[in-house]
Every structure is written in C-alpha cells, then in structure tokens.
Structure 1
C-alpha cells in the first residue's frame, strides 16, 4: 500500500530531501507531494499563465490562486500531511497548510523546534502528532507498518 504524503513547509532548506532519504532507508512506500519548491516559479506562475498583471498586488493575487489550487489538489489526495516549522523563515504558508489539513480531517504531523512551542501551541494541540525532528516524524510514520 502506497501512501501520499504532503510536505508543507518552507522551501529554503533541504528538509524534504531528508524526509525522502529517511523514507527510502526505512523502505516506506510513500509518494511525496507539496508546494512548488522553486520560489521564482511560485511567485511568477500567475503571470506565466494569465499574462502580465497591473501591479505587484495583482501579480501576487493570481499567483496565489494557482498555488492554492495546487495545494488543494495535492492535499485532497494526501493520506498524511507533514508540516515543518523552522527557526529562520516566517511560516505563514506552513500554518495555512497545517490548518487546511486539520479542517479537511487529514492526519497531521507537525515538526517544530522546542523554541516554537508557545507560538504553535494551538496548532500543535489540533495536530495528531507534534515532534521536534524529521527523524521523529519518520519513526511515527514507520509505526504504521509494524504488525507486532
């Protein structure tokens, strides 16, 4: 049985590769999906599809429509959502994706450092599991395949 895992979170570090490598080493049958990881492509996709916009607000609006469409399609198909909150980058998109997963009833694992406990306490309370490392998240997922 293959699971689809939506990887929500910042696109500036290689945490997704760490998840994929760990899944591969554990021989977990996962297919990974997520947001567009090419920041420029994500910012420009609206104009690439709909043409030049009047200003930066309109450009952001049309890009958001298309990026939200992508997220909706992939999250609806996902069996599990992992949302990573890191120390360095603002995490508005991650919080939105985690909230969407909760609203859709998708099983959610939040990865966040201890230092973000307080600002994420309500979100963590609604998630199925909150951990501090990718390794802990992968151990939780591997538990799905234990039979005894």
Structure 2
C-alpha cells in the first residue's frame, strides 16, 4: 500500500525536505504533494495564465483562484494531510488547508509547538493527532505501516 500525503504549511523553511528525507530513510511507501513552493510562481500564476491585472488586489485574486484549484485537487487526492503551524510566519493558508482537510474527512496530523497550544486548541482537537515536531509526525506516519 502507498499513501499520498499532502504537506500543508509555510514554504519558507526546509521542513518538507526533512519529512521527505526521514520517510525515505524509513522506506515508507509515501508520495508527497503540497502547495506551490516557489513563492514568486505562486504569486504570479494568475497573471501568467490570465495576463496582466489592473492592480495588486486583482493580481492576488487571480493567483488565488489557481492556487486554490491546485490545492483542492491535491487535497482531494491525498490519503492524509500533515499541517505544520510554526511560530515564525503568519500561516493563514496552513490553517485553511487543515480546516479543508477536516471538512473533507481527510486524516490530519497537526504539527505545532507547545507554545501555540492555546491559539490552536480548537484545530488541534479536530485533528486526528497533534504533535510538536516533524520527527513525531514521521513516527505517526510510520506507525500506519506497522
């Protein structure tokens, strides 16, 4: 059995590479998908497809349409979602992806530091499991295959 895992979360750090490397080291049969990690491409995809927009609001709206399409398709194909909410970046998109996973009845592993327990308490209670580290998330994925 292979699983497709959607990695929701900020695109500025290497946490996805860390999860992928650790899963590969354990020889877990997992295919990983996630949001567009090239920030400039993500921000510019609307204009790339539709042409130049009249202002930043329209540019963002156009890009959001295509990013939301991509995210919805990949979330629907995923068997499980891992969402990382850290302290450094505002992560509204991560919270939105985690909430969408819950609404789609997709199993959800939420990664968040203990310091964010209070602001994320409702989301944590809706997730299947909440962990504090990438290592714990990989162990949770590994346990599925035992």
Structure 1 regions of 5+ residues with no counterpart? none
Cα RMSD (Å): 0.4
* Residues paired across the two proteins, number: 146
The CA deviation at 1:37 is 0.2
TM-score (ref. length: structure 2): 0.99
For 2:101 and 2:108, how far apart are their aligned partners in 1? 7
SS for the counterpart of 1:69 is helix
Q: Kindly indicate whether residue 40 of structure 2 is the aligned counterpart of residue 40 of structure 1.
A: yes
Structure 2 regions of 5+ residues with no counterpart? none
The CA deviation at 1:5 is 0.2
Report the counterpart of residue 82 of structure 2 in structure 1. Answer: 82
Give a deviation string over 1:52-75, Cα, whole Å, max 9, x none: 001100000010000000000000
TM-score (ref. length: structure 1): 0.98
For 1:37 and 1:124, how far apart are their aligned partners in 2? 25
For 2:124 and 2:145, how far apart are their aligned partners in 1? 24
For 1:99 and 1:132, how far apart are their aligned partners in 2? 18
Give the 4+ runs in structure 1 shifted more than 6 A.
Answer: none
